[in-house]
Amino acid sequence: MPIGYNKIEVLVRLGRIRSNFRLLEAKGGRVMPVVKADAYGHGLWPVARALAEEGARTFAVGTVEEAADLRRAGCRAGIVSLLGPLDAWEYEALWEFGAIPMIGEFGRLEELARVASRMPGPLDIGLKFDTGMSRLGFSEADLPGLLDRISGLAGLRPVMVSSHLAAADVPDLAGFLDGQAETFRRVVSAFKARGLEVEANLANSAAVMARPDLAFQGQRPGVSLYGANPFWGTDLAELGQGLEPAMEVSAPVIEVRDVARGQSVGYGCTHRVEENTRLAVVAAGYADGYSRGLSNRGWALVRGVRVPVVGRVCMQLLMLDVGRAPGVEPGDRAWLLGGDGPQAIRPEELAEWWGTIPYEVFCLLGLNRKKYV
Ligand SMILES: *Cc1c(COP(=O)(O)O)cnc(C)c1O
């Protein structure tokens, strides 16, 4: 359920997600859209439905519960749960909802095998390998034992092999990426050598854009589908040309007031007005996911002009110095992300002011009520 007590509005432009999908597919391999965490805050089912119409055949979610939600919403495509079963009920739910779990360690494999032995039919599973993230997944050293074990499991059918890249968006770490890719290729070969027909997928957004040689049979872009460029601010930034941010966030100006030189603004008196100006008070704050870390750092777009956040961001309010934006009135919309015209605020910019990455910006602001166009 979205945050329901506020005035902030998240606009999701599904047409842009569709066009980002087409752009990413045009770079090479099949795209398995990553729609975990409510499609990075953009809305699980609206996004998946739009991308299914564009031809997406499999979606990647995080938890099994998300897979169940997507299936219940009406999704008929393949669904991969990247986290796999964690709680007891999630094992059987994989059969009920027809989801492919990624399995990355022996304990869950054995538990799943136990459940499989009492289920009527076999379950398709994916196997996840750690090639450098040190997070989830079997290691290369596990391969012989793992291959022996899964060959003997009638109730589980391995159909996918995955690994996750740690630094594909860091051009300076291309060598690390190559190392991960090499390990992954050996893993895939070992499956092939056993006669196991598995779909391999490795690439996240950055690799889809920069490394068509790593397309394998599937790719798993997330953030780029939503229009953020993983290479923003790097030498490879132009690889993201054409990606269009799909999320725009605005809140109403509820008051405009004149303030005189020397007056302080907001809690803690952290901003002092240097010359007479006007402030717009906007109905958005950290309770809406607009971080207090943006105090005296963020910018908004009002009437096409970029204006700074002044003073501390409050729980449900923030103040903008609109001295340079003539004619601002209560009822105007302040765009905290996106907005019209060349001054539109990019997710990468907002993330930089915020001290984070566009992923977190989308996830947090996406907790608010959404409108689709
Ligand atoms: C989130 C996630 C992705 C997508 O990564 P982006 O950087 O958003 O493209 C791909 N694979 C896995 C396993 C993930 O968890």
pLDDT recorded at residue 4 = 86
The answer to whether the CB of 16 is under 6 A from ligand 1 is no
9 within domain boundaries: no
The answer to whether the CB of 82 is under 6 A from ligand 1 is yes
Of the residues 192, 212, 240, the one at which a domain ends: 240
Say whether both 94 and 198 belong to one domain: yes
- Judged against a pLDDT cut of 90, whether residue 193 lies above it is answered with yes
Average pLDDT over residues 67-86: 98
The helix (H) or strand (E) run that includes residue 97 is helix 89-97
**CA 206 to ligand 1 centroid distance, Å:** 10
The residue whose CA is least distant from atom 6 of ligand 1 is 222
**CA 284 to ligand 1 centroid distance, Å:** 30
Long-range contacts of 90-94 (CB under 8 A, 24+ apart): 90/63, 90/64, 90/65, 91/115, 92/119, 93/64, 93/67, 93/68, 94/64, 94/67, 94/123
Say whether both 280 and 146 belong to one domain: no
255 within domain boundaries: yes
Say whether both 115 and 253 belong to one domain: no
Say whether both 126 and 70 belong to one domain: yes
Say whether both 167 and 316 belong to one domain: no
pLDDT recorded at residue 286 = 98
pLDDT recorded at residue 1 = 79
Backbone region of residue 166 per phi and psi (left: phi > 0; alpha: psi in -120 to 50; beta: other values): alpha
- Judged against a pLDDT cut of 90, whether residue 29 lies above it is answered with no
Atom of ligand 1 nearest to the CA of 223: 8
For residue range 311-354, list pLDDT tens digits in order. Answer: 999 999 999 999 999 999 999 999 999 999 999 999 999 999 99
CATH number of the structural domain spanning residue 309: 2.40.37.10
- Judged against a pLDDT cut of 90, whether residue 175 lies above it is answered with yes
Please, which pLDDT band fits residue 195 given cuts at 50, 70 and 90? very high
Query: What is d(CA 332, CA 278) in angstroms, rounded to the nearest whole number?
Result: 14
Q: Residues of the chain with pLDDT > 70: what percent?
A: 100
pLDDT recorded at residue 208 = 97
The answer to whether the CB of 34 is under 6 A from ligand 1 is yes
Say whether both 235 and 259 belong to one domain: no
371 within domain boundaries: no
Average pLDDT over residues 299-315: 98
Query: What is d(CA 120, CA 333) in angstroms, rounded to the nearest whole number?
Result: 56
- Judged against a pLDDT cut of 90, whether residue 51 lies above it is answered with yes
Please, which pLDDT band fits residue 99 given cuts at 50, 70 and 90? very high
Say whether both 286 and 198 belong to one domain: no
369 within domain boundaries: no
Q: Which of 82, 100, 239 to probe ligand 1 with, by most ligand atoms within 8 A of CB?
A: 82
The whole-chain average pLDDT of the chain stands at: 97
Domain that holds residue 290: 247-345
Say whether both 157 and 46 belong to one domain: yes
pLDDT recorded at residue 217 = 96
356 within domain boundaries: no
The answer to whether the CB of 71 is under 6 A from ligand 1 is no
pLDDT recorded at residue 28 = 81
| Number of independent structural domains in the chain | 2
**CA 205 to ligand 1 centroid distance, Å:** 7
Of the residues 207, 240, 273, the one at which a domain ends: 240
pLDDT recorded at residue 315 = 98
Q: Which residue has the tokens 């870390």?
A: 293
The candidate with the shortest Cα–Cα distance to 48, out of 76, 11, 9, 84, is 76
For residue range 197-220, list pLDDT tens digits in order. Answer: 999 999 999 999 999 999 999 999
Q: Which of 81, 102, 130, 164 to probe ligand 1 with, by most ligand atoms within 8 A of CB?
A: 164
pLDDT recorded at residue 110 = 97
The C-alpha R_g of the chain, in whole angstroms, comes to 23
Say whether both 200 and 222 belong to one domain: yes
- The answer to whether 39 and 62 are in contact (CB under 8 A) is no
Please, which pLDDT band fits residue 104 given cuts at 50, 70 and 90? very high
pLDDT recorded at residue 113 = 97
Average pLDDT over residues 261-278: 98
